Amino acid sequence: MRDKGKKLAKRNNEMSVVMYFFAAVFMAMMCYFFYYVQFKAPTEINSSYNMRQQNLAKKVIRGNIYAADGSILAEQAMNSDNEEVRYYPFKEVFAHAVGYDSHGCAGVEHAANIDLLTSDSPVNEKLQKEMAGVRNYGDNVYTSYDVNLQETAYEALGAYKGAIVVMDAKTAKILAMVSKPDYDPNTVSDNWASISADTEDSPLVNRATQGLYPPGSTFKIVTLLEYLKEHSDDYQDYRFNCKGSITFDDVTVECYHGSVHGNLDLKESFAKSCNSSFANIGMQLNLKKYANTCNELLFNTDLPTDLYYSKSSFTLKSGADTEEIMHTAMGQGNTLMSPLHMAMITQAIANNGVMMKPYEILKKTNYLGTVIESYEPQKVKSIMTENEAKIEQEFMEEVVNTGTGKKLSKLAYTAAGKTGSAEFGNVKGQSHAWFTGYSNISDPDIVVTVIVEGAGSGSDYAVPMAKRIFDAYYGE
Amino acid sequence: MSTAIVGLSRYVLIFFGAMYAFHCFMAFVIGKGSDKNWFYITQEAFMILFHMTSFLVLAITSKNVEIFTLGAFQEVMLIAIIVLYRILYPECSRLLVNNMCMLLAIGFVILTRLDQTKALKQFFIVAVSLAVTMFIPYLMIRFRELRRYTYVFGGIGLAAIAAVMVSGAVTNGSKLSWQIAGITFQPSEFVKLLYVVFLAGMLTEEDEDTGRIMLKPSLQRLIIGGAAAFAHVAILVFSKDLGSALIFFIVYVFMLYASVKAPVVLAGGAAAGVVGSLIGYKLFAHVRVRVTAWLDPFKVIEGQGYQITQSLFAIGTGSWFGMGLNMGSPNKIPVVEQDFIFAAVSEELGCIFGICLILICMSTFLMIINMAMTANDPYYRLMALGFAVYYAFQILLTVGGTIKFIPMTGVTLPLVSYGGSSVLSTLIMLAIVQGIYLIHDTEGRTVSYEMRGGYAG
């Protein structure tokens, strides 16, 4: 009998191999399926290509979006015709930050779309409502937005086109994000045709993340970093005599508004934002390493964020001509940056070189307030050494103390930063005003990045706006 | 009342599906006893409940009473099949009959939801196919001389796919089908069956003295069999039907392995498979397209990645509990009722139900291979093994492709997907497998009887 069993087992050896092989294949497939549905799908389906989100809205009342202090930024409400509509109490102020829930969605409405349309109500209530054919309440989303800072930034930018990003210096959570021209999210759906057709002002574009601008002198932060990397021992020996302009190979670069800065070391070159000196530095740099440094700083690549953004670009390569090198080193040339990216680099400097992932959603709760998921700050990577970051900090403090950022000195709080006046187009003298910096130099609190389109110099236009935001933060 | 039914139905249908799938695996565990009858009746009850509840929901949500009539006819047919099999073949594998009916029921439900005209057409095809294939086990028990016609099967199969290659219509970059009187006919679906039967014959040998069928055939038979298998695969490759070519290749490798009992066959098969895939990738643009769409579909979402991303959106949005019947948008997926039927099932009935569906298919595979193991005649053993491999690999290709586990090959989900050729060939296959089981069973009883007698003596 046992022999018979053995014989049968032997006879079935190959059959067993085939059976176990395919059983393993089935198991692997089911494991992958489980992994996909549980972990990958929730983020993947939050795509504007997914038309099925409307199906979810038939079963769930879209959840609310809150500011950090609990103010409602978006909720469901009834209009005068007794129809359910999305209501945004702050109207234009949070237009780009919170976004809208129609036409593919934007802002937080887009980032948290599936969460807002998913109900994590208690199971018994959920079942009861499903049986009664009544919609369940979707989950609520709490953002990091600070209503006071957002309103201040919105007012500070005034009637200018441009953008302001404010983030926490240690965690990179976004406290305010303004872009102008703007729109009223309450009526964006009704006025969609005219708003989306406005290519001159493009109010739908979130300039804070999607706008790409020449960085102007704020880019000297990057050129400085490259110089520090190449001259870690002797950067203090750098000297330059500024006569208002500099010429290499018949290419001349002038300082802003023809200023003559005289004898400068590296720190003074940075603080006074001397174009001639930085063109001079650019000519000394190893272009291959320069490009590598920029790639390390996340130019030409994806930014670690869930916000909808445009990639910054840095195109200088070894073998570039003199004009391109000089212009690139002082922040003109072909370089383009988004204000968000500028804020991220500033945040890393303030945080001793460690870049954090910018985020705006702090937690997701069900409608009763039970936390379903909360999100912690995430480290991206060190984009420079702590020592390099300290030197950058010191130089940016000098900008405020003696240089182009003087309007931020002698206040109840301390600040550091870099201004920029980025020339654009062919008309000489027209420039975008930039400022990027942070407050409380001993233990940085917030990062503020400002771009004002076509306004003029950074110190005249962008710095005062940044000052208003710092004032608001410190309660002045 | 009706809203409560619709609201609850998502969970109820999952429960029925899960209970059914649970019985599929319990079937392998429970011992032979009188409770077996009740066990299968319980399983059948869950199948009927699933089908009835689904059609109730479909009728309510689409406010169409005709749907209910269609459902009632299907119900009668499914019950008739189960009863007829019990009467005609009391010793048949009831698990296999039930799984066949359950998969058809799932197909009916989802097709009715997707496209009522197609569902009706599918119903007629299934009804006729079942009526015809019901006699196959009987014929197999009566006529045991199948193996004599081995060369005939091989010849017909080769001729058929060769003819398709020459004259076939071009669909989706692959020459696959014939149009006969308005009905599109996919010969490769049937050639698969002939191919397995042919290989089972070629890879066994008849002992000239005793007349017994043996494994490990002569070199001559191995060479002829190998050449014929290569010819099948080559013709399919030239017809650009690479999915079928892959299935034919895999079936050959595993059948050869089971016949000559040499693990080196598997190693060689794997190596040849890798080399073949690389050559296919280099040679054929539509293979590259599918690999690109598999690697990162979101990069090419508006082109080659559209179909698979729609499938993933459907699965992901439906999530574990599904949107409910008629509450999703499965029709946004191109060719949903054929290659992507699994995505439609997952979207509306939920991914838990999707897993149940995979489990039902898995238990069908295990049952067929179990039959291969218990059969005595090596010819039928090999045949059953070939069908098991063919079935399992097809499930892997279609479900795996739909969930982006592997690149999409454009294969249907047997018995669930829409398509007459596919459903008929699968039903023939299952009928043959039942036949093998019944042949074994009649023999097996004599064996056990003799054994008992021997012990008594």
Cβ atoms within 10 A of the Cβ of B286, count? 15
* CB-closest option in A17, A37, A130 to B316: A37
The pLDDT > 90 percentage for chain B reads 33
Answer whether B317's CB lies under 8 Å from A56's CB. Answer: yes
Distance CA(B318)–CA(B311), nearest Å, equals 11
Q: Least CA distance to B3: which residue of chain A? A: A133
Cβ atoms within 10 A of the Cβ of B285, count? 8
**Band (B167; pLDDT cuts 50, 70, 90):** low
Asked whether residue A85 is domain-assigned, the answer is no
Distance CA(B67)–CA(A177), nearest Å, equals 54
Strands (E), B72-173: 169-171
Which pair of tokens denotes residue B187? 């010969």
Answer whether B112's CB lies under 8 Å from B349's CB. Answer: no
Tell me which DSSP letter residue A337 carries. B
pLDDT digits (tens, 9 = 90+) for B270-321: 898 889 888 888 888 778 888 888 888 887 777 778 888 889 989 998 889 9
pLDDT digits (tens, 9 = 90+) for A255-283: 887 788 889 999 999 998 898 999 999 99
**Enclosing H/E stretch for A262:** strand A262-265
A13 contact B CB<8A: yes
- Chain B residues in contact with A23 by the CB 8 A cut-off are 362, 366
Which pair of tokens denotes residue A293? 């440094």
Q: From the DSSP assignment, how many helices (H) and strands (E) are in chain B?
A: 17, 5
* CB-closest option in A18, A30, A129 to B358: A30
Could you write out the three-class secondary structure of A269-297?
A: HHHCCCHHHHHHHHHHCCHHHHHHHHHHC
Interface test with A, best of B319, B348, B389 (most A CBs within 10 A): B319
Cα torsion through B259, B263, B264, B267, rounded to 10: 110
**Band (A87; pLDDT cuts 50, 70, 90):** very high
Please answer yes or no on whether A132 and B395 come within 8 Å at the CB atom: no
Q: Look at chain B and count its residues.
A: 457
**Band (B449; pLDDT cuts 50, 70, 90):** very low
Q: What is the DSSP string of A47-84?
A: STT-TTHHHHHTTEE---EE-TTS-EEEEEEE-TTS-E
Answer whether A135's CB lies under 8 Å from A59's CB. Answer: yes
Q: Which residues contact B295 (CB under 8 A, 6 or more apart)?
A: none
A36 contact B CB<8A: yes
- Chain B residues in contact with A132 by the CB 8 A cut-off are 3-4, 7
Cis peptide before A181 (omega within 30 of 0): yes
Q: What are residue B170's DSSP bridge partners?
A: B175
- pLDDT over threshold 60, residue B407: yes
Report in angstroms the alpha-carbon separations of B291 from A29, B3, B236, B275, B308.
18, 44, 19, 16, 11
- pLDDT over threshold 70, residue A132: yes
- Chain B residues in contact with A2 by the CB 8 A cut-off are none
Report in angstroms the alpha-carbon separations of A406 from A233, A419, A428.
29, 10, 26
Distance CA(A292)–CA(A278), nearest Å, equals 19
Distance CA(B425)–CA(A264), nearest Å, equals 87
| Count of domains observed in chain A | 1
- What per-residue confidence (pLDDT) applies to A392? 93
Which pair of tokens denotes residue A46? 């939050």
**Enclosing H/E stretch for B431:** helix B420-456
Interface test with B, best of A13, A46, A50 (most B CBs within 10 A): A50
- pLDDT over threshold 70, residue B1: no
Q: Output the average pLDDT for chain B.
A: 84
Which pair of tokens denotes residue A45? 């389906």
Distance CA(B310)–CA(B255), nearest Å, equals 37
Quickly tell me which residue has 């949070």 as its tokens. A94
Answer whether B289's CB lies under 8 Å from B320's CB. Answer: no
Answer whether A449's CB lies under 8 Å from A179's CB. Answer: no
Is the pTM above the cut of 0.80? no
- pLDDT over threshold 50, residue A433: yes
Which pair of tokens denotes residue A135? 């919609």
**Band (B446; pLDDT cuts 50, 70, 90):** very low
The candidate with the shortest Cα–Cα distance to B155, out of B209, B218, B228, B214, is B228
Which pair of tokens denotes residue B413? 């989900």
Q: What are residue B3's DSSP bridge partners?
A: none
Distance CA(B354)–CA(B402), nearest Å, equals 11
Q: For chain B, which residues make up each domain, given as ranges?
A: 2-134+300-456, 146-283
Which pair of tokens denotes residue A264? 């400068």
Which pair of tokens denotes residue A37? 């549905």
Shortest alpha-carbon distance between residue A369 and chain B (Å): 24
pLDDT digits (tens, 9 = 90+) for B122-156: 999 999 999 999 999 888 888 877 888 888 888 88
Answer whether B305's CB lies under 8 Å from B293's CB. Answer: yes
The least confident of A249-263, B35-49, B103-117, B441-455 is B441-455
Answer whether A279's CB lies under 8 Å from A223's CB. Answer: no
The pLDDT > 70 percentage for chain B reads 91
Please answer yes or no on whether A50 and B261 come within 8 Å at the CB atom: no
Distance CA(A167)–CA(A211), nearest Å, equals 18
Mean predicted confidence (pLDDT) in B317-339:
86
Mean predicted confidence (pLDDT) in B68-80:
91
Q: Which residues contact A428 (CB under 8 A, 6 or more apart)?
A: none
Cα A174 versus chain centre, distance: 8
Shortest alpha-carbon distance between residue B385 and chain A (Å): 7
- pLDDT over threshold 60, residue B32: no
**Could you report how far apart the first and last alpha carbons of chain B are, in Å?**
68
Distance CA(B372)–CA(B366), nearest Å, equals 10
Please answer yes or no on whether A19 and B351 come within 8 Å at the CB atom: no
Residue A431 domain boundaries: 216-361+382-473
The pLDDT > 90 percentage for chain A reads 56
- What per-residue confidence (pLDDT) applies to B226? 85
Distance CA(A268)–CA(A240), nearest Å, equals 10
Distance CA(A245)–CA(B113), nearest Å, equals 76
- Chain A residues in contact with B4 by the CB 8 A cut-off are 131-133
- pLDDT over threshold 60, residue B451: no
Q: Give the range with max mean pLDDT: A316-330, B56-70, B424-438.
A: B424-438
Distance CA(A171)–CA(A430), nearest Å, equals 35
Judged by DSSP in three states, B414 sits in coil
Which pair of tokens denotes residue B360? 């039902």
- Chain A residues in contact with B351 by the CB 8 A cut-off are 33, 37
The candidate with the shortest Cα–Cα distance to B351, out of B397, B315, B310, B401, is B315
- What per-residue confidence (pLDDT) applies to A25? 94
Quickly tell me which residue has 């249908």 as its tokens. B13
Interface test with B, best of A56, A130, A136, A302 (most B CBs within 10 A): A130
- What per-residue confidence (pLDDT) applies to B31? 62
pLDDT digits (tens, 9 = 90+) for B431-441: 999 998 888 76
- pLDDT over threshold 60, residue A49: yes
Report in angstroms the alpha-carbon separations of A374 from A144, A166, A378.
12, 21, 12
Q: For chains A and B, what is the number of CB pairs under 8 angstroms?
A: 135
**Band (B178; pLDDT cuts 50, 70, 90):** low
**Band (B452; pLDDT cuts 50, 70, 90):** very low
Shortest alpha-carbon distance between residue A46 and chain B (Å): 9
- Chain A residues in contact with B301 by the CB 8 A cut-off are 47, 49
Answer whether B176's CB lies under 8 Å from B160's CB. Answer: no
Q: CATH number for the domain including A291?
A: 3.40.710.10
Interface test with A, best of B256, B312, B376 (most A CBs within 10 A): B312
Asked whether residue A209 is domain-assigned, the answer is no
Which pair of tokens denotes residue A455? 């306004």
Distance CA(A279)–CA(A223), nearest Å, equals 10
Distance CA(B16)–CA(A430), nearest Å, equals 72
Q: Give the range with max mean pLDDT: A242-251, B13-22, B172-181, B273-282.
A: B13-22
Cα B131 versus chain centre, distance: 18
Q: Output the average pLDDT for chain A.
A: 89
Of the two residues A144 and A77, the one the predictor is more confident about is: A144
* CB-closest option in A36, A49, A133 to B3: A133
Cα torsion through A144, A147, A150, A152, rounded to 10: -150
Cα A208 versus chain centre, distance: 7
Strand A140-143 to A65-66 pairing: parallel
- What per-residue confidence (pLDDT) applies to A228? 92
Distance CA(B16)–CA(B6), nearest Å, equals 15
**Band (B106; pLDDT cuts 50, 70, 90):** very high
* CB-closest option in A29, A56, A129 to B396: A29
Q: Which residues contact B414 (CB under 8 A, 6 or more apart)?
A: B103, B361, B391, B394, B395, B422, B423, B426
Distance CA(A452)–CA(A213), nearest Å, equals 10
Shortest alpha-carbon distance between residue A22 and chain B (Å): 7
Distance CA(A453)–CA(A433), nearest Å, equals 7
A41 contact B CB<8A: yes
Q: What is the DSSP string of A127-149?
A: HHHHHHT-PEEPPEEEE---HHH
pLDDT digits (tens, 9 = 90+) for B46-66: 999 999 999 989 988 888 888
Could you tell me the sign of the dihedral formed by the alpha carbons of B122, B124, B126, B128, in that order?
negative
Asked whether residue A149 is domain-assigned, the answer is no
